[in-house]
Structures are given as structure tokens and as C-alpha cells.
Chains A and B, each alone.
Chain A
Amino acid sequence: MKITQMSVFIENTEGRLFELCDILGKNNINIKALTLAESPEFGIVRLVVDKAENAVEIVKKHGFIASLAQIAAVEVADDPGGLAAVLKVLSENKINIEYMYGFVEKASDKALMVFKFEDIDKAIEVLCANSIPVVAKETISCAKKRI
């Protein structure tokens, strides 16, 4: 199951990240996960939000540069070696990871990691074949309700 992620270009200026989050909050868009990739002058904020398609239109309307990408959220055992076990499978199957980050909330007692793969379809296929759960979008939305 793929999840839609929103990426936003942010200039390295004071308060810009706040402005972005403020706009999302005021538009009732909840942030599920967030990571910031930075270079000296600019950053790219990658967010998993509910209603990503709406969110991207809203932030663009406010003058941000933003785009959508497909990612996969993967359940990782929350104990030593948990992530390594997933990465081992990916590595053995020559699946390239562009980047990854952790989730703010958990769907279960397992940790959730978000992956951007070079080839997402192949990645999901490999993960499923190795019984590593790829979390559905609905599950993530449900997660909040559970908390």
C-alpha cells in the first residue's frame, strides 16, 4: 500500500517552517510524520498528512512550492535489530532507498518507518514476499483514533 507524501521547499529563513505548519493547522490538516532535509540555504520538508491532495493545493495557494510523491510505510519491530532486519531484506533484493524517516505515532507496538524507494512497486512486492507489513493509509488514519 502506497502513501502520498507532500514535499515543500523551504528557504532557510526564520519562521518559515512555522508558517507552513500554521497554514496546515488552520486548515485542519494533521501532520502524521515529518522530516526535514536541509542544505545550507534551503530545506525540503517532507510530510505525511491526512488529505495530502488537499494539503498540497492549500500550501501552493499560500505561495509554497510543493509536490507529491508515493512512499511506503513499513512496520518495523521495535527492538534491537528490528530495522536492520528490514534493511537486510531490501539490500539482498537490491532495492534502493532514496531516504527514510520515522513516524510520529505508532499503529501498534511496532515502530513505523517511512521509505522513499527508487522503485516503490518492486519494494512493496519484496517486503510482502518477506512478510514485512506495509501499512495501509487507512491504518494510519485509524491510528490516531486509537490513541
Chain B
Amino acid sequence: MIFNEKFETMKLDDLKNLQSERLAALARYVYQNSPVYKKRIDESGYKVSDIKTIDDISKLPFTTKDDMRDNYPFGLFSMDSSKVAEFHVSSGTTGNPVVSGYSKDDVDLWGEAAARSIGAAGGNPGDIIQVAYGYGLFTGGLGLHYGALKFGCPIMPMSSGQTKRQIKLMNDFKPRILACTPSFALYMGEEARGLGFKPEDMSWQIGIFGAEPWTTAIQNEIDRSLGMLATDIYGLSEITGPGVAQECHLRQGLHMWSDVFYPEIINPETGQALKEGEVGELVITTLTRTGMPLLRYRTRDLVSITNEVCSCGRTAPRISKIQGRTDDMIIIRGINVFPTQIEYALLQVEESLPNYQIIVDRADKGLDTIEVQVEIDQKFFSDEIKSIEAVKQKIKKSIEQTILVGVTVKLVEPKTITRSEGKAKRVIDNRKM
């Protein structure tokens, strides 16, 4: 069902006018309310009054993940932190996480975007939704929750984990919609089959899956093994959680709600705009956010875009599935992990060398595992297993406290971590995606 006819099917000319108006207002708003953006705009040589149409967007400065780190925690807000309704936090590239401050209006906007997404996936008001994304600082759980509230879907706020209980309540409540990471969906499917459920016994008909990259092959596998239509949702806490873009039931790309989140695709090297259909870095401007609006935020996600109107009737442009990243971020069970975070964690442990390799695998049941191999150092080698184990535990704890994902640590002999051209390859991702 189309949740918001007016905006989702707006004529392209009208959409462009709306985007222009909103961009001009946004430029004025951040100039008045954000010291960081005021300085950036002043330095750019352009004036706020130069921003008249959406095509003027290239005159505005980019915002990067490093800006988030440099202004941690509240420096990029355009609002006093006491006025903020909600904070969300995701991984930064080193010790400091990325904070996003949502005003009450931003939370409302997020609910709107997620509601449109539930509708696009094929949901109808009254469908019970099982939200099995984590609830908390991570945006997954609350995003679908706000969307379902707005859309009128009775919510099972399960959060992630507790697989057996998820399956029992699925069987008892008969939710039509399941929202979680694709790997958790596969895992639940596996568990359900173990308990004797056939795909047709599972009540789910629609899946809203995201927060990690997955291929069409996995999508087909979920369709088949859980007996449902699995759709892809995109979001990032800096812009808004899940709901920035969503596949409709036709699954020909993810509709991006461009009346509120304006997309550009650029060459990540040069910053130049790319043509429709070319793969480049997705850059998003939050046209209407008030708590922490962002100008031209560089997502580091590589996608292509099409403006062709979809057969579903929505005029919202469609982005492809994520084709890759401009950095070496990896996503484990919905949590973003940067190799630099692991390096940071190792530096906190006196006995370890920052010489490491991350091996990511997908276990049989679909859950991702992460192994960090660390080269042991002569100086902490002891001839007793227990003291080496103690160092290993110390390293494990430091990493887990930094990335918030469980890891196994494996100590390896020096110089065994593969180096190419003197530079170690940090991530080996064995997941078939």
C-alpha cells in the first residue's frame, strides 16, 4: 500500500520544486543554527542566498564521517542538545562513535520514512509486524517501531536474539511482516525448520531486511526457505535509521524518499556528479531535518541510481543494492565495524602488536562470525598457557568493548599475517554475499 500518495507519487517537476524550496530553507537554517556549517559556507565563497534550486546543491560543502568524529558528540547539531528528543549512535572509524541527534520532528520524519517503507514492501495497516532488529542506540529496532506505529501495524517489539521465543510468538501471533537483518532471518528460518516448521507453516509473508549487505541470491534463498517476499531496506543513523530507501514489492531497486533525503551519486575520488546508472558514492542531504541536518553527507556506500518512474507508481528515484564501500568498513550482524577500531582496541592492550587480520565468516546457520588474528610479540610470550590465554582474553575484551560485537581472538606467530606491498591485508571476508 502507498502510505503517502502525495509525496510518493508526486510529479517529477513538482518534486524538483519542493526539493528546491526545501534546500534553500535548509541552507538558511543550518547557517543560522550550526556554527560548523556557518563557517563552512562562509569559507566556500558562496552565500546562502546563492542556494535557490536543487541544482545549486553542488555549491554546498560535503560532510564526512571524519566531521562527525571531529565534532563529537554534539558539535554538528543545529539545535541545543537539551532540545533533542533522541540520540542514536553508530560506529566511528576509531574510538569515538558517531552520534546523531534527532529532534521530535526528526523522529516524526523517521516514522514517516519507515511507514512509507513498510507500505512499499507490501504491508497494510493491521498487519502484525515482528520487529527483530536490536532496540537501543542502534537505529534498526526503533526505526521500524516508529514506522509501524505511524502506519498502524500492531508491533511485536522483540529486539534481536532469543530465536526460540521469536519462533514461538510467530506461531502464536501470526505476524505477516518480519523485520530484521537478513542473516538473522536466515538463522530463524533454520531454527524454525529444526523445530519442524515448513516454509508454509511460517506466518511471515513479507520481510523487511537490512543493516547489512546481501545479494539477490540470499534474497531468493530467504524467499524460498521462509516462504515470503524478502525486501531490502536502507538507512544509516546519521541520516535516519532504516527507511531512507526501501524496495517496493517489484524489487527493482530501493525507492529513496528524495523529498526528504536528497541523493547525489558522485565519483568518490573527485567529488564530481556521476550520470544516472553509474556506480558511485551515495551522498545524502537531509532536506527537512532540524536536530542534526546534514549537507551532502558522504555515506561511503557505492550505488547507482535511476530516476525512471517505477511500475508501482512511485516517482521516488531508486538506488541499487549497495555495490560496495569506499572504505573498508565491514558489517557484522548489523553492526558496522571499521578495521581502524580494532587497531585502536589493540593499542589499548600493552602486550599486543597492532598487527592483525580480521576474518569474517558466515556460520552454517547464517550468523556472521568474526575472528581477529593477532601476531604475538616476543615480549609477552610466556611458557605458560594460562598467561598467554590471559593476554588473549585481555585483547578480546578490549576489541569487544570497542566494536560491541563478540569476536574470537587467535594468536598467531609473527609475520604470518599476509602482507602485500608491505601493507597487511586487514580484512578477509569469506561470506558469500
A contacts, CB < 8 Å to B:
5, 7, 9-11, 37-39, 41-42, 44, 46, 60, 63-67, 69, 98-99, 116
Is B414 part of the binding interface, using a Cβ–Cβ cutoff of 8 Å? Answer: yes
Q: A11-B412, A11-B416 are in contact. Are A39 and B383 (CB under 8 A)?
A: no
A9 touches B410 (CB 8 A): no
Q: How far is the CA of A11 from the CA of B415 in the complex (A)?
A: 12
Q: Does B421 contact A (CB under 8 A)?
A: no
Interface positions of B from 130 to 157, Cβ below 8 Å from A? none
Chain B residues with CB below 8 A from A44, complex form: 383-385, 388
In the complex, A67 Cα to B388 Cα: how many Å? Answer: 13
Instruction: Please tell me if B413 contacts chain A, counting CB pairs below 8 Å.
Output: yes
B413 touching A37, Cβ below 8 Å: no
Q: Is the CB of A65 within 8 A of B383?
A: no
Residues of B within 8 A of A65 (CB): 376-378, 381, 413-414
A-contact 0/1 string along B401-416, CB 8 Å cutoff: 0000000001111111
- Chain A positions within 8 Å of B413 at CB level: 9-11, 63-65
Which single member of B377, B378, B411 contacts A60 (CB below 8 Å)? Answer: B378
CA of A9 to CA of B378, assembled, Å? 10
B residues in contact with A7, CB < 8 Å: 381-383
User: How far apart sit A8 and B415, CA to CA, in the bound complex (Å)?
Assistant: 15
A39 touching B389, Cβ below 8 Å:
yes
User: Does the CB pair B385–A37 fall under 8 Å?
Assistant: yes
23 CB < 8 A contacts A-B:
A9-B376, A9-B381, A9-B388, A9-B411, A10-B413, A11-B412, A11-B416, A39-B389, A41-B410, A41-B411, A42-B411, A44-B383, A44-B388, A46-B383, A63-B414, A65-B376, A65-B378, A65-B413, A65-B414, A67-B378, A67-B383, A69-B383, A99-B384
The total number of A-B Cβ pairs within 8 Å is: 49
A38 to B383, CA, bound (A): 11
Chain B 396-433 per-residue mask, 1 if CB under 8 angstroms from chain A, else 0: 00000000000000111111100000000000000000
A99 to B384, CA, bound (A): 9
Residues of the B chain whose Cβ atoms lie less than 8 Å from the Cβ of A39: 385, 388-389
Are A66 and B385 also in contact (CB < 8 A) when A11-B413, A41-B410, A42-B411 are?
no
**Chain A residue at minimum C-beta to C-beta distance from B384:** A98
Instruction: Give the shortest distance, in Å, between B414 (CB) and chain A (any CB).
Output: 6
- B415 near A63 with CB under 8 A, answer yes
Rounded to whole Å, the gap between the CB of A19 and the closest CB of chain B is: 11
> B385 contacts which chain A residues (CB < 8 A)?
37-39, 44
* Partner among A42, A46, A69, A116 whose Cβ is within 8 Å of the Cβ of B388: A42
Q: Which residues from 176 to 197 on chain B have a C-beta closer than 8 Å to any C-beta of chain A?
A: none
A46, A65, A116: which has the most chain B beta carbons within 10 Å?
Answer: A65
- Report Cα–Cα, A38/B388, bound state, in Å: 11
Q: Which of A39, A42, A60, A66 has the most CB of B within 10 A?
A: A42
Q: Which of A41, A67, A116 contacts B381 (CB 8 A)?
A: A67
CB distance from B76 to the nearest CB of A (A): 43
Q: How far is the CA of A67 from the CA of B384 in the complex (A)?
A: 11
Least CB distance, A28 to chain B, in whole angstroms = 24
CB distance from A25 to the nearest CB of B (A): 20
Q: B150 → chain A, closest Cβ, in Å? A: 50
Q: What residue of chain B has the Cβ atom nearest to residue A64's Cβ?
A: B413
Enumerate chain A residues within 8 angstroms of B389, measured Cβ to Cβ: 39
Residue of A nearest to B412 (CB): A11
Q: Taking CB as reference atom, which chain B residue is nearest A67?
A: B381
Chain A residues in 8 Å Cβ range of B376: 9, 65
Residues of B within 8 A of A63 (CB): 413-415
A5-B383, A65-B377 known; 18 other A-B pairs, CB under 8 Å?
A7-B382, A11-B413, A11-B416, A37-B385, A38-B385, A42-B411, A42-B412, A44-B383, A44-B384, A63-B414, A65-B376, A65-B413, A66-B381, A67-B381, A69-B383, A98-B384, A99-B384, A116-B383
Top 5 A-B pairs ranked by shortest CB distance?
Answer: A7-B383, A65-B381, A11-B413, A41-B410, A37-B385
- A37: B residues at CB distance < 8 A: 384-385
Q: Would you list which residues of chain B between 52 and 110 have a CB under 8 Å from chain A?
A: none
Cα distance, A129 to B100, chains bound together (Å) = 72
Docked Cα-Cα span, A64 to B381, in Å, equals 11
Give the distance to chain B from A75, nearest Cβ to Cβ, in Å: 23
| Chain A residues, Cβ within 8 Å of B381 | 7, 9, 65-67
CA of A11 to CA of B413, assembled, Å: 6
Contact residues in B for A42 (Cβ distance below 8 Å): 388, 411-412
CA gap between A46 and B383 in the complex, in Å: 8
Of all chain A residues, the one with the shortest Cβ separation from B411 is A42
Listed residue (B376, B413, B414) with the most chain A CB atoms within 10 angstroms of its CB: B413
Chain A residue nearest to B375 (CB atoms) is: A65
A10: nearest chain-B partner, CB-CB: B413
Q: Which residues of A contact B383 (CB under 8 A)?
A: 5, 7, 44, 46, 67, 69, 116
